[in-house]
Chains A and B, each alone.
Chain A
Amino acid sequence: MNDLGKRLNDLASRATTGVVLADPSITGPATVRSVRGRKVAFGLVSALAVASMLFLWQGRNSGTTSVVVGQGEDNSTGFFTGGPCTDGPVLELLQAGIPTFDYEPAGSFDELANQSAAVVVGQVASMARTEVNGRSYIEVTVSGVFEISVDSGADTPRNDIEIIAYQAQWADRSAPDPLASPVAVDGLDFFGFLSPWSGVRGGWAPGPEGLYVSCNGPGLPVIASGAGPNDPADPGQWWAQKAAEQAAGQAMADAATAAEAANEAAEDQLDEHPIVETSGGFESVEAARQTLADAVVAEAEVRRGANRDNREADPVLLEELEAARFEAGRALWTASGISSYRLRYVESHPPSGFTSLVSLRIEDGHVVDTEFRQGSDEADQVFTVDEMFAIAASVDEVYDLTLDADTGHPVELRLDRDDAVRGDEFNLREIQVIPRQDLDDADPILQDWLPELVPLPEGLISLLRPSTDVTQGYLLHANDDLQVFLYLDGDEVCAVIDPFPTNADSTGAAGTCRFKTEFLANTVLLANSVPQGLTSYLLVVPSPDYLDQQWTAEAEGGTLDVTSWSVLFTEDEDAPLGQSLVRILCECGDRTFRLPS
């Protein structure tokens, strides 16, 4: 870990000192989560179970192999006699005495699997040469065998497969047979395409292309490889790809199921209520949420597997997985039933430097109000969430798509409209959605908490006039030096600090706004700097949720009770706490602010 990592770790350690997570295996998962629909998720995870059999095949080994029986110190034959597990010596041992086979190649792993009775993975326990009815065979004793099935997407223990045998006769009379006695190995994986064969002990045999072993790297053929021209050399990789393809298909099917359920739920609501005001059913939303989460993990697993094996992930497969994630996100958004909301995002066109900060009010899916942040460019076209999904589905290339885990809406999109045209790439980022319902829910809470409504000073009204017609507000703080007001402006709560209340024109006042939901969610809200730049303020407004707690502001200059509300300021000789770093202490969590200077 580098210096920055160490500093990060130190910060995190201090911040989390005393925090103890509960072990869910002792406490049990939270009961609230038990109602989640897991059926949809299970299908995907079951499919993923197959994908991850790759790990049984490779990656489990500790990297050591030891010979415990049958080998002396004589290594004159060059065969494996012990020590760290390396593929070459193990292969040499397994290949010792194999005759030349005349066989018809399968042509691909798919075909090889079709020709086999069982495709299995497991561990090699030991190897030995034996004779049955006058023929010589290598018997590979195996353990932990699982059959992996493309069709069912499940893996099944195969305790009946204990010995795999293939013909191999030791013909070198000048050297001792290294498998004359059983050679036990620890940690050697195998991958087998097997068929029943009554002529050998154990009753199972691989074809010439059907047995692969691995110490800790890619699987290597013991006799011959069955890989086709389009297959990876390692059957484990082939299997992982097939399993991931199946997972992608399952994810898409799950997304379609979730979308269908969401549509049905929406239609039911429409039947009962002509205007959809609330979100979709809890269970369908939770199921869609789980599907999206699984799709994210499935994609990561494929990328992680490719990275671990130092190869490129299959682009076709990735495209399918990304499509599955996209559909899962869209299904979740649909299931959430959010049709009226505030939407903010940044649209940027990297080639031209165009940047637009867009704020939209959307009612029943339609844009009813559009604002561009002062100073930013004005976009010709704005997007609702549904339109973001639509354009992402229509462009030639989606470089990046990040989805909100709760509601499925895009959080970040990087798009290329036409990959034959240069300079038409654009990004939508910092995408934020506040449902109308959440904002409406904030109103009664605020009304209960805010003090009595009073007229704002005339000077302040004039000063605010360009941006709002508000004439009344809530006086939070007043002394000889300043007044602090809150006022409601549409969906936002605004605070304004008037440092010169005796001035009729309120020169020097400064304010800032944020959504009601954000106002309620935060505890210490506003910092501001007078435009002239001489004075900075920190406005402490304890959240209504924490009014029963004691609040204290602490800085080098002393402490101040801010349980009701108060103002601290600095960069000014009259400041009660002449300190730029201020700690706000509260049982609900301490926070420290550095005031802008």
Chain B
Amino acid sequence: MMDFSDFFRSEADQLLRFCWVLTLDTDEAADLAQEVMTRAYERWDLLEQQDQNPAGWVRTVAVNLSRSRWRRVKRFRMFVPKLVAPPQAAAVASDPDLALALEALALRQRQVIALRYWADLPLAECAIEMGISLGSVKQHLARAHRNLAAAIDPAILQDLVL
């Protein structure tokens, strides 16, 4: 197994982007990714000794921690009139429709989109990373598809396969 510095060099950017898809906020993503990497470093001896899959480990931890971060960011938006507040302008400028659609997704839907389409994981592994049943993953993904389909060109979703 590689040492931590090699792992960090190869995975830090990937993890940062994954965290951004989870949070849609650059600062939050950086905080989250930094925290996850720090935890990985603190446990590296064990991860190495166990020959675990550290990329999977950091994803699991990121998904878990993003829940509490979501609490701070999202809070009670559902109780106020719909506020369509997309993420960072730099990203929005490149793909505003997708950014807006992502912003409107519930956290669980965003998590499953991040795992299924960004991390390219099978549904069973999405369930593992999210700590929920396969049935629930399918439910969240179906809802996410519906919401994305309403907000972006349906043709984009044509090749998405459950």
Contact = CB atoms under 8 A, between A and B. Distances in A.
B76 A4 contact: no
Interface in A102-144: none
Given A4-B157, A527-B82, A590-B89, 20 more contacts: A4-B160, A5-B117, A16-B13, A19-B29, A23-B8, A23-B9, A25-B8, A25-B44, A49-B49, A51-B50, A296-B131, A297-B64, A299-B131, A303-B128, A344-B79, A405-B67, A411-B71, A518-B76, A592-B88, A596-B84
Contact of A24 (B38, B51, B76, B100): B38
Given A373-B79, A405-B65, A521-B75, A10 B94 contact: yes
A430 B107 CA distance: 9
B158 to A, nearest CB: 9
B43 A45 contact: yes
A449 to B, nearest CB: 19
Given A13-B17, A15-B20, A49-B50, A432 B90 contact: no
Interface residues of B, number: 90
Interface string B1-38: 00011001100110111101100111101100110011
B43 A596 contact: no
Nearest to A58: B51
30 contacts: A2-B160, A4-B160, A7-B98, A11-B95, A16-B26, A19-B26, A21-B8, A21-B33, A21-B34, A23-B5, A24-B37, A26-B5, A48-B46, A49-B46, A52-B50, A300-B131, A304-B128, A307-B124, A325-B131, A359-B79, A399-B136, A404-B67, A406-B68, A430-B106, A433-B71, A514-B75, A585-B89, A589-B26, A591-B85, A591-B88
Given A25-B41, A48-B46, A357 B79 contact: yes
Contacts, number: 246
The 5 lowest CB-CB distance pairs between A and B, nearest first, are A52-B50, A12-B17, A55-B51, A15-B91, A406-B68
A591 B124 CA distance: 35
B113 interface: yes
Interface in A566-593: 581, 583, 585, 589-593
Interface string A27-48: 0011001000000000001101
B117 A4 contact: yes
Chain A, interface SS category:
mixed
Contacts of A25: 4-5, 8, 41, 44
A400 B96 CA distance: 33
Given A404-B71, A590-B90, A591-B85, A16 B51 contact: no
Contacts of B43: 45
A513 B80 contact: yes
A434 interface: yes
Contact of B64 (A405, A412, A525, A595): A405
Given A8-B117, A300-B131, A16 B29 contact: yes
A285 B114 CA distance: 30
B156 interface: yes
Given A2-B160, A515-B76, A529 B81 contact: yes
A433 B15 CA distance: 28
Contacts of A81: none
Contacts of A434: 75
Contacts of B18: 12
Interface string B52-92: 11001100110011011001110110111111111111111
Contacts of B24: 15
A414 interface: yes
Contacts of B135: 399
B159 to A, nearest CB: 6
A56 interface: yes
Interface string A423-436: 00000001011100
Contact of B91 (A11, A26, A293): A11
A307 B98 CA distance: 31
A155 interface: yes
Given A24-B38, A344-B79, A56 B51 contact: yes
B86 A594 contact: yes
B132 interface: yes
Chain B, interface SS category:
helix
A15 B87 contact: yes
B17 A9 contact: yes
Interface string A342-356: 001010000000000
A158 to B, nearest CB: 14
A22 interface: yes
B12 to A, nearest CB: 5
Contacts of A307: 124-125, 128
A592 B17 CA distance: 20
A299 B61 CA distance: 12
Interface string A371-408: 00100000000000000000000000001101111110
Contacts of A518: 75-76
A304 B53 contact: yes
Contacts of A51: 50
A439 to B, nearest CB: 12
Contacts of A60: 51
Contacts of B29: 15-16, 19
B112 interface: no
B18 to A, nearest CB: 8
A411 B84 contact: no
A587 B51 CA distance: 43
A515 B93 CA distance: 30
B84 A593 contact: yes
A155 B100 contact: no
A14 interface: yes
Contact of A406 (B33, B71, B86, B108): B71
Contacts of A411: 67, 71
Given A48-B50, A405-B68, A30 B75 contact: no
Contacts of B125: 304, 307
Nearest to B108: A412
Given A15-B91, A589-B88, A514 B76 contact: yes
Contacts of B96: 581, 592, 594
A517 interface: yes
Contacts of A583: 89
A524 interface: yes
Nearest to A403: B67
A299 B128 CA distance: 8
A275 interface: no
A526 interface: yes
